[in-house]
Amino acid sequence: MKTPKIKLKNVHKRFGDKVVLDGLDLEIMPGESLVIIGGSGTGKSVTIKCILGLLTPDIGEIEIDGQSVLDISPVERNTINARIGMLFQHAALFDSLSVWENVAFGLIEGQGMLASTARDIALEKMAAVGLAEDTAEMHPSDLSGGMRKRVGLARAIAINPEIIFFDEPTTGLDPIMGDIINQLIVETTQNIGATGLSITHDMSSARKIADRIAMLYKGKIIWHGAVEEIEKTKNEFLRQFINGNSEGPIDFETAII
């Protein structure tokens, strides 16, 4: 049996009295694109932050390529993160750097590449996400929301990562720009053969990006399956979520934690 690229086993995380992850189990196979869906505050971002080492789970195991990534040194963490790309919800571009410097950051600072070589790769990645060369010297404050997402995507794929995380990739974008970003995510992820983990509550985004979908509710995966199965599901929670109904079994009072 193949080793999962990412594996979470019985992961718990709480902030004070608020239980965010309550025994989360998840496996993502190499080259697969998994999308986690769920309402706001159900622990989607916390899941990604735990895998990246930005948060530490209270209990549980997290493995990448069969190796535990908990209780490791900062140097080992940097080595692991150097294989991971991340597109943040609001892009999280560095204000003080130009567009190309943002894209090339992981190459220059993370891998120690020469700035001139890194600039060439950055321009190549920018072209891959539809950014013209004349945007290279602009600063993030000069860009629209869609362009910022593109720069964030170019930065995420610049290091040719084995794994890419997408945190709400279409939030704040109009439907057309959202679809363009979704298409870019699919193309760029396939081109570099990366394993993808996305979190979103945008169902059109989930349907476009995912090979497999998992629904997170009250800190646990309550449903998972291939993207085609989602339309035929009898799971009442999932049906309520994908249809966007206010009536149903989902308890929004406690879901928002």
Partner 1 sequence: MSFLQLTGATVLGFFRAVGHITHFTIVAVSHCFRPPFYFQLIWRQIVEIGYYSLPVVGLTTVFAGMVLALQSYTGFARFAAGAESSIAKVVVLSITRELAPVLAGLMVAARVGSSIAAEIGTMRVTEQIDALTTLATEPFKYLVAPRVIAGIATLPVLILIGDVIGIFGGYIVAVYKLDFNAAIYLKNTWEFVQFTDVFSGLVKATVFGFVTTLMGCYQGYFSKGGAQGVGTATINAVVSSAILILILNYMITAMFFGA
What phi and psi, each to the nearest 5 degrees, are found at residue 108? -75, -55
Minimum distance between the CB of residue 102 and partner 1, rounded to whole angstroms? 9
Q: How far apart are alpha carbons 148 and 137 in whole angstroms? A: 14
Q: Which is nearer to partner 1, 106 or 196 (CB)?
A: 106
Q: How far apart are alpha carbons 2 and 29 in whole angstroms? A: 8
Q: Which is nearer to partner 1, 140 or 178 (CB)?
A: 140
Minimum distance between the CB of residue 93 and partner 1, rounded to whole angstroms? 8
Q: Which is nearer to partner 1, 108 or 257 (CB)?
A: 108
Minimum distance between the CB of residue 110 and partner 1, rounded to whole angstroms? 4
Q: Which is nearer to partner 1, 109 or 187 (CB)?
A: 109
Q: How far apart are alpha carbons 189 and 221 in whole angstroms? A: 24
Minimum distance between the CB of residue 155 and partner 1, rounded to whole angstroms? 8
In sequence order, the β-bridge partners of residue 34 are: 197, 212
Q: How far apart are alpha carbons 159 and 155 in whole angstroms? A: 8
Minimum distance between the CB of residue 226 and partner 1, rounded to whole angstroms? 29
Q: Which residues bind partner 1 (CB under 8 A)?
A: 49, 52-54, 74, 78-79, 81-82, 84-86, 88-90, 92-95, 105-106, 109-111, 155
Q: How far apart are alpha carbons 123 and 16 in whole angstroms? A: 45
Closest of 75, 42, 79, 43 to residue 64, by C-alpha: 79
Q: Which is nearer to partner 1, 78 or 183 (CB)?
A: 78
